[in-house]
A and B are shown apart, each in its own frame.
Chain A
């Protein structure tokens, strides 16, 4: 079997996959991203390079992915619809494939009002579902969104998307996962899981519709580093669900950092046993150095 990427291979061969997020720096220093990546080498099967996450300007995901490739590691290029129209997005998709990027994660993108340029005009010409379909059509049918044919090579990329089991309306999020799969998503990285009970209910719906057999689902993990972070995630970050039980553990802990780590470890262990979960996606915000320990102590192994 010819796999487009290491991530596709891991997931297709039913190994429990690990992906980890690397945020590019707020500047042009390639060493910053190289150092982070070097530290994480061997801790994940592939690395998401974020695309100006939370609408804060950073080095481009595209450039970050190329740096990761130069290190013989595997990037997942995040591609958001906030900053480019369909012309720019298709062009970047082709460019990424040309340079050897083999995983593209399609997202609509955080609204610009959350970032450090709230006066910017958001593009939002298309949404994530349309982006998935457009790249899939370039790949499978050899056509651009306009219907024009590609003339010199079709991009060969493994397509990913996001899912949020905690957003409202709850049922609509499962319907939307269905649409993402129909549009072309082959792997899904979910919002960070703190509320396992609600996540399990969502997975019940996912399984009852057989979606876990049509797509590989990686559950999101974001270790809580401090009480302040727990507060931010609970009260201020849209679309996250930190249940009171987790929040109480954090505020009453003598060592909140250790407690946050322990909670993450327990969550991974529970997720591993959940039917239909094919891997985890670690987003360790401002705490990337914890990833190797977390992966090791959770009994996970990257295959690279």
Chain B
């Protein structure tokens, strides 16, 4: 899932200026991480109206990154979109761009920051898991990814800074190399770590289009 967080409300007010505005959310990731689902869109609507910024309408796209589906869903809101110049989108950066393509005459503004591809680890808690590197190496490391979860992306870790299973740069972050080591040890498979992993082929991370 793409994990996002809402920008600070004051920052949003600053980019919006005066209304009226139309609000767009997303039914998928932004809903699950409580950034741009129906609840958050309605809360934003109320907060803006309290500041005397008129909101002409809203829609939660299903999902916001689906270009053709967006065209269909937005048709139903043509009237609400007619006389406004600003659209505030609460989805990931992908959704914002897909929507911006449809409204070249309007200002499409982003109310979120897109953080990472991650898991819902607990209620309201999300952890970075993947950086979309184009060549999955998980099988080499007991199912845990050092490219995304080690701040130095080390393929031949651990570095010399971890302590008590925690990363040197953030005591809240578990050292993924410690976890990899413990996991492979448990499986009696530590010898796989004695192989020197070659530099990663980052050319595979450069894909820009895929057709089936």
Question: Which A residues are within 8 Å of any B CB, using their own CB?
Answer: 81-82, 86, 108-109, 111, 113-114, 122, 124-130, 133-134, 145, 162-164, 166-169, 172-173, 175-176, 178-179, 182-183, 191, 238-239
Tell me the bound Cα distance from A92 to B155 in angstroms: 22
B194 engages A239 (CB within 8 Å): no
Tell me the bound Cα distance from A162 to B160 in angstroms: 9
| List of B residues within 8 angstroms of A178 by Cβ | 194
B196 engages A182 (CB within 8 Å): yes
8 A-B contact pairs sorted by A residue (CB < 8 Å): A122-B152, A124-B153, A169-B158, A169-B181, A169-B182, A172-B177, A175-B193, A179-B156
A129 engages B178 (CB within 8 Å): no
| List of B residues within 8 angstroms of A239 by Cβ | 160-163, 168
With A122-B151, A125-B202, A127-B154: A114-B160 Cβ-Cβ less than 8 Å: no
B194 engages A179 (CB within 8 Å): yes
B158 engages A108 (CB within 8 Å): no
Digit string of B149-174 for contact with A (CB within 8 Å is 1, else 0)? 00111111111111111001100000
| List of A residues within 8 angstroms of B177 by Cβ | 172
With A113-B169, A179-B194: A164-B199 Cβ-Cβ less than 8 Å: no
Digit string of B178-212 for contact with A (CB within 8 Å is 1, else 0)? 10011000000010011011111010000000000
State the majority secondary structure of interface residues on B: loop
| List of B residues within 8 angstroms of A162 by Cβ | 160
A111's contact among B151, B164, B165, by CB below 8 Å, is which?
A: B151
With A111-B169, A167-B159, A175-B190: A183-B196 Cβ-Cβ less than 8 Å: yes
B175 contacts chain A at the CB level, 8 A cutoff: yes
> In whole Å, how far is A162's beta carbon from the nearest beta carbon of chain B?
7
> In whole Å, how far is A137's beta carbon from the nearest beta carbon of chain B?
11
Task: List the 9 closest A-B pairs by CB distance, nearest first.
Answer: A164-B160, A238-B168, A238-B161, A129-B156, A167-B160, A127-B154, A239-B161, A239-B160, A126-B199
B152 engages A108 (CB within 8 Å): yes
B168 engages A172 (CB within 8 Å): no
| List of B residues within 8 angstroms of A127 by Cβ | 152-157
Tell me the bound Cα distance from A126 to B175 in angstroms: 18
Q: Which of A82, A122, A126 has the most CB of B within 10 A?
A: A126
With A86-B199, A179-B196, A182-B196: A124-B154 Cβ-Cβ less than 8 Å: yes
B199 engages A129 (CB within 8 Å): no
Tell me the bound Cα distance from A200 to B162 in angstroms: 20
| List of A residues within 8 angstroms of B164 by Cβ | 168
CB-CB nearest in chain A for B161: A238
Tell me the bound Cα distance from A145 to B198 in angstroms: 9
B198 engages A130 (CB within 8 Å): yes
> In whole Å, how far is A146's beta carbon from the nearest beta carbon of chain B?
10
| List of A residues within 8 angstroms of B152 by Cβ | 81-82, 108-109, 111, 122, 124, 127
| List of A residues within 8 angstroms of B182 by Cβ | 169
Tell me the bound Cα distance from A127 to B147 in angstroms: 11
Tell me the bound Cα distance from A111 to B162 in angstroms: 12
| List of A residues within 8 angstroms of B163 by Cβ | 167-168, 238-239
Tell me the bound Cα distance from A127 to B154 in angstroms: 6
| List of A residues within 8 angstroms of B168 by Cβ | 111, 238-239
> In whole Å, how far is B156's beta carbon from the nearest beta carbon of chain A?
4
With contacts A168-B162, A238-B161 known, what are 11 further pairs, Cβ within 8 A?
A108-B152, A124-B153, A127-B152, A127-B156, A167-B159, A167-B161, A168-B164, A168-B165, A172-B181, A179-B156, A238-B168
Tell me the bound Cα distance from A167 to B178 in angstroms: 10
A108 engages B154 (CB within 8 Å): yes
With A125-B202, A133-B196, A183-B196: A176-B156 Cβ-Cβ less than 8 Å: yes
